[in-house]
Amino acid sequence: MKKCLSIAAVLIIIAIPLFCGAQKKSSAKAKAKDNSASNSKDKQGKDQIPPLRELCILNYKTDFSTLADKYKEDLFPKSNTKSAIHFYRGISLLKQAMYMESIRDFKIARLDTNINRNMCNFFIALSYMQLHMKDSILSICGTTLNVPGQELMKPDYWNNAEFTKERVFISYILGTNQVLTKPTDTLLIDALYSFCSREEKFLEAYYNYGAYSYNLGRYKKSIDMLVKVHDLKPPEDTLILLDLGYMYRLSGDNVQAMKSYNLLLGASRSYMGYNNRGCLYAFMEKYKKSLSDLSTAIRRNPQGIDALCNRGLVYLKILEYKKSVADFTSSVQLKPDFSDGYYYRGFALKAMGDYANSVGDFSRALQLKK
Protein backbone atom coordinates (compact mmCIF):
# COMPACT_ATOMS: atom_id res chain seq x y z
CA MET A 1 0.00 0.00 0.00
CA LYS A 2 1.18 3.48 -0.79
CA LYS A 3 3.01 5.28 1.96
CA CYS A 4 1.08 8.43 2.79
CA LEU A 5 2.84 9.92 5.72
CA SER A 6 6.48 9.97 6.59
CA ILE A 7 8.48 11.42 9.36
CA ALA A 8 12.04 12.37 9.14
CA ALA A 9 12.50 11.26 5.57
CA VAL A 10 16.20 12.01 5.71
CA LEU A 11 17.89 12.50 9.02
CA ILE A 12 21.26 14.26 8.81
CA ILE A 13 22.86 12.88 11.91
CA ILE A 14 25.69 14.81 13.55
CA ALA A 15 27.58 12.12 15.32
CA ILE A 16 31.31 11.59 14.74
CA PRO A 17 33.89 13.94 16.26
CA LEU A 18 37.18 14.22 14.42
CA PHE A 19 39.61 16.08 16.69
CA CYS A 20 39.59 13.33 19.25
CA GLY A 21 41.51 10.62 21.02
CA ALA A 22 39.94 8.64 23.87
CA GLN A 23 36.21 7.86 23.65
CA LYS A 24 33.60 9.01 26.11
CA LYS A 25 29.84 9.09 26.30
CA SER A 26 28.05 12.06 24.84
CA SER A 27 24.76 13.52 26.05
CA ALA A 28 22.06 11.09 27.06
CA LYS A 29 19.94 12.30 24.18
CA ALA A 30 22.38 11.28 21.45
CA LYS A 31 23.93 8.35 23.32
CA ALA A 32 26.73 8.40 20.77
CA LYS A 33 30.43 7.94 21.42
CA ASP A 34 32.60 11.02 21.37
CA ASN A 35 36.35 11.41 21.66
CA SER A 36 38.20 13.93 23.81
CA ALA A 37 40.40 16.54 22.21
CA SER A 38 43.29 16.00 24.58
CA ASN A 39 45.36 14.07 22.03
CA SER A 40 44.69 16.42 19.12
CA LYS A 41 47.47 16.48 16.54
CA ASP A 42 46.48 19.96 15.39
CA LYS A 43 49.66 22.02 15.45
CA GLN A 44 47.81 25.03 16.79
CA GLY A 45 46.27 23.16 19.71
CA LYS A 46 42.67 23.69 18.62
CA ASP A 47 40.06 21.85 20.62
CA GLN A 48 37.04 22.25 18.31
CA ILE A 49 35.26 18.98 17.57
CA PRO A 50 33.72 19.17 14.08
CA PRO A 51 31.14 16.44 13.46
CA LEU A 52 30.62 14.26 10.41
CA ARG A 53 27.27 14.00 8.67
CA GLU A 54 25.90 10.46 8.50
CA LEU A 55 22.73 9.60 6.63
CA CYS A 56 19.87 7.57 8.06
CA ILE A 57 16.45 7.13 6.47
CA LEU A 58 13.57 6.12 8.71
CA ASN A 59 10.02 6.66 7.45
CA TYR A 60 7.11 5.59 9.61
CA LYS A 61 4.91 3.28 7.59
CA THR A 62 1.18 3.96 7.66
CA ASP A 63 -0.13 0.87 5.93
CA PHE A 64 -0.28 -2.83 6.78
CA SER A 65 0.42 -4.38 3.38
CA THR A 66 2.30 -7.44 4.64
CA LEU A 67 -0.40 -8.23 7.21
CA ALA A 68 -3.18 -7.74 4.68
CA ASP A 69 -1.33 -10.02 2.28
CA LYS A 70 -0.99 -12.62 5.01
CA TYR A 71 -4.76 -12.62 5.44
CA LYS A 72 -5.50 -12.17 1.77
CA GLU A 73 -8.34 -14.68 1.95
CA ASP A 74 -10.27 -11.88 3.62
CA LEU A 75 -9.60 -9.68 0.59
CA PHE A 76 -10.29 -12.17 -2.17
CA PRO A 77 -13.59 -11.53 -4.01
CA LYS A 78 -16.28 -13.85 -2.73
CA SER A 79 -19.05 -12.29 -4.79
CA ASN A 80 -19.70 -9.78 -7.54
CA THR A 81 -22.30 -7.79 -5.61
CA LYS A 82 -22.34 -3.99 -5.43
CA SER A 83 -21.00 -4.26 -1.86
CA ALA A 84 -17.96 -6.18 -3.08
CA ILE A 85 -17.33 -3.56 -5.73
CA HIS A 86 -17.55 -0.82 -3.09
CA PHE A 87 -15.02 -2.73 -0.96
CA TYR A 88 -12.39 -3.06 -3.70
CA ARG A 89 -12.96 0.45 -4.96
CA GLY A 90 -12.41 1.60 -1.38
CA ILE A 91 -8.98 -0.05 -1.34
CA SER A 92 -8.04 1.62 -4.63
CA LEU A 93 -9.26 5.00 -3.38
CA LEU A 94 -7.26 4.58 -0.17
CA LYS A 95 -4.10 3.86 -2.16
CA GLN A 96 -4.68 7.10 -4.06
CA ALA A 97 -5.01 9.09 -0.82
CA MET A 98 -8.73 9.71 -1.48
CA TYR A 99 -9.61 9.03 2.13
CA MET A 100 -13.13 10.39 2.52
CA GLU A 101 -14.23 8.59 -0.65
CA SER A 102 -12.68 5.33 0.55
CA ILE A 103 -14.41 5.65 3.93
CA ARG A 104 -17.79 5.98 2.21
CA ASP A 105 -17.17 2.86 0.15
CA PHE A 106 -16.05 0.78 3.14
CA LYS A 107 -19.06 1.88 5.18
CA ILE A 108 -21.38 0.72 2.39
CA ALA A 109 -19.47 -2.53 1.90
CA ARG A 110 -19.54 -3.56 5.57
CA LEU A 111 -23.36 -3.60 5.57
CA ASP A 112 -23.16 -6.77 3.47
CA THR A 113 -22.69 -9.85 5.65
CA ASN A 114 -20.66 -11.45 2.86
CA ILE A 115 -17.98 -8.79 3.27
CA ASN A 116 -15.50 -9.01 6.15
CA ARG A 117 -16.76 -6.24 8.41
CA ASN A 118 -13.64 -6.06 10.56
CA MET A 119 -11.42 -5.68 7.50
CA CYS A 120 -13.59 -2.76 6.38
CA ASN A 121 -13.15 -1.21 9.82
CA PHE A 122 -9.36 -1.61 9.66
CA PHE A 123 -9.22 0.23 6.34
CA ILE A 124 -11.56 2.92 7.64
CA ALA A 125 -9.29 3.38 10.66
CA LEU A 126 -6.29 3.79 8.33
CA SER A 127 -8.16 6.50 6.45
CA TYR A 128 -9.08 8.22 9.70
CA MET A 129 -5.39 8.15 10.67
CA GLN A 130 -4.40 9.92 7.45
CA LEU A 131 -7.09 12.52 8.16
CA HIS A 132 -5.88 12.99 11.77
CA MET A 133 -9.29 12.01 13.15
CA LYS A 134 -8.14 10.59 16.50
CA ASP A 135 -11.58 10.25 18.11
CA SER A 136 -12.95 8.46 15.05
CA ILE A 137 -10.01 6.03 15.08
CA LEU A 138 -10.61 5.21 18.72
CA SER A 139 -14.34 4.81 18.20
CA ILE A 140 -14.08 2.38 15.30
CA CYS A 141 -11.33 0.37 16.99
CA GLY A 142 -13.41 0.10 20.15
CA THR A 143 -16.46 -0.94 18.15
CA THR A 144 -14.47 -3.61 16.32
CA LEU A 145 -13.25 -5.19 19.56
CA ASN A 146 -16.44 -4.41 21.51
CA VAL A 147 -14.31 -2.56 24.06
CA PRO A 148 -14.64 1.08 25.22
CA GLY A 149 -12.25 3.17 23.18
CA GLN A 150 -10.52 4.66 26.22
CA GLU A 151 -9.76 1.18 27.49
CA LEU A 152 -7.63 0.63 24.40
CA MET A 153 -5.44 3.57 25.43
CA LYS A 154 -4.29 1.83 28.60
CA PRO A 155 -0.99 -0.09 28.44
CA ASP A 156 -2.32 -2.73 30.86
CA TYR A 157 -5.04 -3.68 28.39
CA TRP A 158 -2.46 -4.64 25.76
CA ASN A 159 -0.08 -6.21 28.24
CA ASN A 160 -2.80 -8.66 29.26
CA ALA A 161 -4.96 -8.97 26.11
CA GLU A 162 -5.49 -12.26 24.31
CA PHE A 163 -3.50 -12.44 21.09
CA THR A 164 -5.92 -12.27 18.14
CA LYS A 165 -5.75 -11.17 14.53
CA GLU A 166 -8.14 -8.30 15.19
CA ARG A 167 -6.05 -6.98 18.06
CA VAL A 168 -2.89 -7.19 15.95
CA PHE A 169 -4.42 -4.89 13.33
CA ILE A 170 -5.79 -2.47 15.91
CA SER A 171 -2.67 -2.32 18.10
CA TYR A 172 -0.64 -1.49 15.00
CA ILE A 173 -3.06 1.24 13.89
CA LEU A 174 -3.24 2.79 17.35
CA GLY A 175 0.52 2.54 17.86
CA THR A 176 1.27 4.20 14.54
CA ASN A 177 -1.24 6.95 15.20
CA GLN A 178 0.39 7.58 18.58
CA VAL A 179 3.93 7.92 17.21
CA LEU A 180 2.62 10.40 14.66
CA THR A 181 0.52 12.48 17.07
CA LYS A 182 1.76 11.87 20.63
CA PRO A 183 5.18 10.18 20.55
CA THR A 184 5.86 11.05 24.20
CA ASP A 185 3.40 8.44 25.49
CA THR A 186 6.12 5.79 25.60
CA LEU A 187 4.37 3.29 27.90
CA LEU A 188 1.35 3.05 25.62
CA ILE A 189 3.36 2.96 22.39
CA ASP A 190 5.65 0.25 23.77
CA ALA A 191 2.63 -1.81 24.80
CA LEU A 192 0.95 -1.40 21.40
CA TYR A 193 4.02 -2.17 19.29
CA SER A 194 5.13 -4.98 21.60
CA PHE A 195 1.74 -6.58 21.00
CA CYS A 196 1.54 -6.27 17.21
CA SER A 197 5.23 -7.12 16.67
CA ARG A 198 4.49 -10.56 18.12
CA GLU A 199 2.79 -11.29 14.80
CA GLU A 200 5.11 -13.31 12.59
CA LYS A 201 6.53 -11.49 9.56
CA PHE A 202 4.69 -8.22 10.26
CA LEU A 203 7.21 -5.99 8.50
CA GLU A 204 5.49 -2.64 9.09
CA ALA A 205 5.20 -3.28 12.84
CA TYR A 206 8.87 -4.26 13.12
CA TYR A 207 9.94 -1.24 11.11
CA ASN A 208 7.87 1.31 13.01
CA TYR A 209 8.90 -0.10 16.39
CA GLY A 210 12.52 0.08 15.25
CA ALA A 211 12.13 3.68 14.09
CA TYR A 212 10.42 4.65 17.32
CA SER A 213 13.12 2.97 19.41
CA TYR A 214 15.79 4.84 17.47
CA ASN A 215 14.08 8.16 18.21
CA LEU A 216 14.24 7.28 21.91
CA GLY A 217 17.94 6.42 21.68
CA ARG A 218 17.24 2.72 22.34
CA TYR A 219 19.60 1.47 19.69
CA LYS A 220 19.69 -2.19 20.71
CA LYS A 221 15.90 -2.46 20.44
CA SER A 222 15.99 -0.61 17.14
CA ILE A 223 18.62 -3.01 15.82
CA ASP A 224 16.58 -6.04 16.93
CA MET A 225 13.53 -4.78 15.02
CA LEU A 226 15.43 -3.72 11.89
CA VAL A 227 17.21 -7.09 11.75
CA LYS A 228 13.75 -8.70 11.61
CA VAL A 229 12.85 -6.38 8.74
CA HIS A 230 16.09 -7.22 6.93
CA ASP A 231 15.42 -10.94 7.34
CA LEU A 232 12.16 -10.48 5.39
CA LYS A 233 14.16 -9.09 2.44
CA PRO A 234 11.89 -6.15 1.60
CA PRO A 235 12.33 -4.17 -1.65
CA GLU A 236 13.93 -1.31 0.32
CA ASP A 237 16.45 -3.67 1.95
CA THR A 238 19.46 -1.52 1.01
CA LEU A 239 18.03 1.33 3.09
CA ILE A 240 17.54 -1.07 6.00
CA LEU A 241 21.24 -1.96 5.79
CA LEU A 242 22.11 1.75 5.79
CA ASP A 243 20.03 2.26 8.93
CA LEU A 244 21.47 -0.85 10.59
CA GLY A 245 25.02 0.28 9.90
CA TYR A 246 24.31 3.58 11.56
CA MET A 247 22.54 1.98 14.54
CA TYR A 248 25.43 -0.42 15.11
CA ARG A 249 27.84 2.52 14.97
CA LEU A 250 25.80 4.42 17.55
CA SER A 251 25.72 1.38 19.81
CA GLY A 252 29.53 1.11 19.62
CA ASP A 253 29.67 -2.02 17.47
CA ASN A 254 31.91 -0.90 14.63
CA VAL A 255 32.43 -4.47 13.41
CA GLN A 256 28.73 -5.03 12.74
CA ALA A 257 28.42 -1.50 11.36
CA MET A 258 31.15 -2.28 8.83
CA LYS A 259 29.49 -5.58 7.90
CA SER A 260 26.21 -3.79 7.25
CA TYR A 261 27.83 -1.15 5.06
CA ASN A 262 29.83 -3.78 3.16
CA LEU A 263 26.64 -5.74 2.49
CA LEU A 264 24.92 -2.57 1.36
CA LEU A 265 27.72 -1.61 -1.02
CA GLY A 266 27.90 -5.16 -2.32
CA ALA A 267 24.25 -4.91 -3.36
CA SER A 268 24.11 -1.25 -4.32
CA ARG A 269 27.11 1.03 -4.73
CA SER A 270 25.18 4.00 -3.45
CA TYR A 271 26.20 7.50 -2.49
CA MET A 272 24.74 7.08 0.98
CA GLY A 273 26.57 3.80 1.57
CA TYR A 274 29.97 5.24 0.64
CA ASN A 275 29.28 8.38 2.67
CA ASN A 276 28.43 6.44 5.82
CA ARG A 277 31.23 3.91 5.48
CA GLY A 278 33.62 6.81 4.96
CA CYS A 279 32.35 8.31 8.21
CA LEU A 280 32.85 5.00 9.98
CA TYR A 281 36.45 4.74 8.74
CA ALA A 282 37.06 8.27 10.02
CA PHE A 283 35.62 7.32 13.38
CA MET A 284 38.06 4.39 13.42
CA GLU A 285 40.89 6.82 12.47
CA LYS A 286 41.48 5.06 9.14
CA TYR A 287 41.67 8.33 7.27
CA LYS A 288 43.04 7.05 3.95
CA LYS A 289 40.14 4.63 3.57
CA SER A 290 37.75 7.31 4.75
CA LEU A 291 38.92 9.72 2.06
CA SER A 292 38.66 7.00 -0.57
CA ASP A 293 35.03 6.23 0.28
CA LEU A 294 34.03 9.87 0.59
CA SER A 295 35.67 10.66 -2.77
CA THR A 296 33.73 7.78 -4.33
CA ALA A 297 30.53 9.14 -2.81
CA ILE A 298 31.23 12.56 -4.35
CA ARG A 299 31.86 11.01 -7.76
CA ARG A 300 28.56 9.15 -7.44
CA ASN A 301 26.72 12.31 -6.50
CA PRO A 302 28.60 15.56 -7.17
CA GLN A 303 25.69 17.47 -5.62
CA GLY A 304 26.00 15.53 -2.35
CA ILE A 305 26.82 18.21 0.17
CA ASP A 306 27.16 15.75 3.06
CA ALA A 307 30.06 13.82 1.55
CA LEU A 308 31.77 17.06 0.51
CA CYS A 309 31.49 18.39 4.04
CA ASN A 310 32.71 15.11 5.50
CA ARG A 311 35.75 14.94 3.23
CA GLY A 312 36.56 18.56 4.08
CA LEU A 313 36.47 17.68 7.77
CA VAL A 314 38.76 14.68 7.29
CA TYR A 315 41.21 16.86 5.37
CA LEU A 316 40.98 19.33 8.24
CA LYS A 317 41.78 16.57 10.70
CA ILE A 318 44.92 15.48 8.82
CA LEU A 319 46.02 19.13 8.35
CA GLU A 320 45.41 19.22 4.58
CA TYR A 321 44.02 22.74 4.83
CA LYS A 322 44.02 23.71 1.15
CA LYS A 323 42.06 20.60 0.20
CA SER A 324 39.71 21.25 3.11
CA VAL A 325 39.10 24.80 1.91
CA ALA A 326 38.38 23.50 -1.61
CA ASP A 327 35.71 21.08 -0.36
CA PHE A 328 34.00 23.65 1.82
CA THR A 329 34.10 26.15 -1.03
CA SER A 330 32.31 23.58 -3.20
CA SER A 331 29.76 22.97 -0.47
CA VAL A 332 28.80 26.64 -0.12
CA GLN A 333 28.65 26.99 -3.90
CA LEU A 334 26.12 24.15 -3.92
CA LYS A 335 24.25 25.57 -0.94
CA PRO A 336 24.91 29.27 -0.35
CA ASP A 337 23.04 29.21 2.98
CA PHE A 338 25.14 26.33 4.36
CA SER A 339 26.33 27.82 7.65
CA ASP A 340 28.67 24.94 8.54
CA GLY A 341 30.43 25.23 5.19
CA TYR A 342 31.42 28.83 5.94
CA TYR A 343 32.31 28.00 9.54
CA TYR A 344 34.66 25.12 8.72
CA ARG A 345 36.19 26.93 5.76
CA GLY A 346 36.86 29.84 8.10
CA PHE A 347 38.46 27.39 10.51
CA ALA A 348 40.76 26.02 7.80
CA LEU A 349 41.64 29.53 6.59
CA LYS A 350 42.48 30.56 10.14
CA ALA A 351 44.75 27.53 10.49
CA MET A 352 46.54 28.65 7.31
CA GLY A 353 47.03 32.14 8.73
CA ASP A 354 44.49 33.78 6.40
CA TYR A 355 42.74 35.67 9.19
CA ALA A 356 41.05 38.29 6.99
CA ASN A 357 39.14 35.75 4.90
CA SER A 358 38.44 33.60 7.94
CA VAL A 359 36.71 36.56 9.60
CA GLY A 360 34.51 36.93 6.53
CA ASP A 361 33.53 33.25 6.66
CA PHE A 362 32.90 33.27 10.39
CA SER A 363 30.75 36.38 10.00
CA ARG A 364 28.72 34.75 7.21
CA ALA A 365 28.29 31.61 9.34
CA LEU A 366 26.95 33.74 12.19
CA GLN A 367 24.46 35.42 9.86
CA LEU A 368 23.16 32.07 8.67
CA LYS A 369 23.20 30.23 12.00
CA LYS A 370 19.72 29.51 13.27
**Percent of the chain residues topping a pLDDT of 90:** 74
We report the CATH number of the domain holding residue 89 as 1.25.40
pLDDT for residue 48: 40
Number of domains making up the chain: 2
Q: Are residues 169 and 70 in the same domain?
A: yes
Tell me the mean pLDDT in the region 182-198. Answer: 96
Q: What are the tens digits of pLDDT across the range 6-20?
A: 333 333 343 434 433
The domain boundary, picked from 215, 231, 247, lies at 231
Residue 338 lies in a domain: yes
Q: Is residue 134 part of a domain?
A: yes
pLDDT value at position 201?
92
pLDDT computed for residue 12 by the predictor: 39
Q: Count CA within 13 A, CB hemisphere, residue 333.
A: 9
Domain boundary among 197, 231, 265: 231
**Residue 361 is assigned to a structural domain of this protein:** yes
Q: What is the pTM of this model?
A: 0.80
CATH classification of the domain holding 338: 1.25.40.10
106 shares its domain with 205: yes
Using CA atoms, how far apart are residues 257 and 33, in angstroms rounded to an integer? 14
Whether the per-residue pLDDT at 255 is higher than 60: the answer is yes
Residue 32 has pLDDT above 60, yes or no: no
* 69 shares its domain with 193: yes
Same domain for 80 and 215, yes or no, is yes
> For residue range 205-250, what is the model confidence (pLDDT) as tens digits?
999 999 999 999 999 999 999 999 999 998 888 899 999 999 999 9
Mean pLDDT for 111-120 is 89
pLDDT score, position 325: 97
Of all residues in the chain, the percent with pLDDT exceeding 70 is: 85
Residue 39: is its pLDDT beyond 70? no
**Do 99 and 224 reside in the same domain of the chain?**
yes
pLDDT band for position 27 (50/70/90)? very low
Residue 188 scores a pLDDT above 70: yes
Give the integer Cα–Cα distance in Å for 130 and 229: 24
Is the domain of 80 the same as that of 225?
A: yes
Residue 177: name the closest of 68, 56, 61 by CA. 61
Residue 185 is assigned to a structural domain of this protein: yes
Residues 48, 347: contact at Cβ < 8 Å?
yes
Sequence-ordered strand ranges (E) for the chain: 11-17, 23-25, 33-35, 51-56
- The answer as to whether 46 is a domain residue is no
Distance CA 146, CA 170 (A): 12
Sorted by sequence, the CB contacts under 8 Å of residue 47 that are 6+ apart come out as 19, 37, 40
Question: Does some domain include residue 8?
Answer: no
Note down the domain range covering 365.
320-370
The answer to whether residue 153 is domain-embedded is: yes
Sequence-ordered list of residues with C-beta below 8 angstroms from that of 77, at least 6 positions apart, any chain: 84, 88
pLDDT given for residue 69 in this prediction: 75
Same domain, 225 and 119: yes
Q: Which of 231, 247, 266 represents a domain boundary (last residue)?
A: 231
Answer yes or no: is 325 within a domain.
yes
The secondary structure of residue 50, as a DSSP letter, is: P
Q: Which residues contact 71 (CB under 8 A, 6 or more apart)?
A: 119, 165
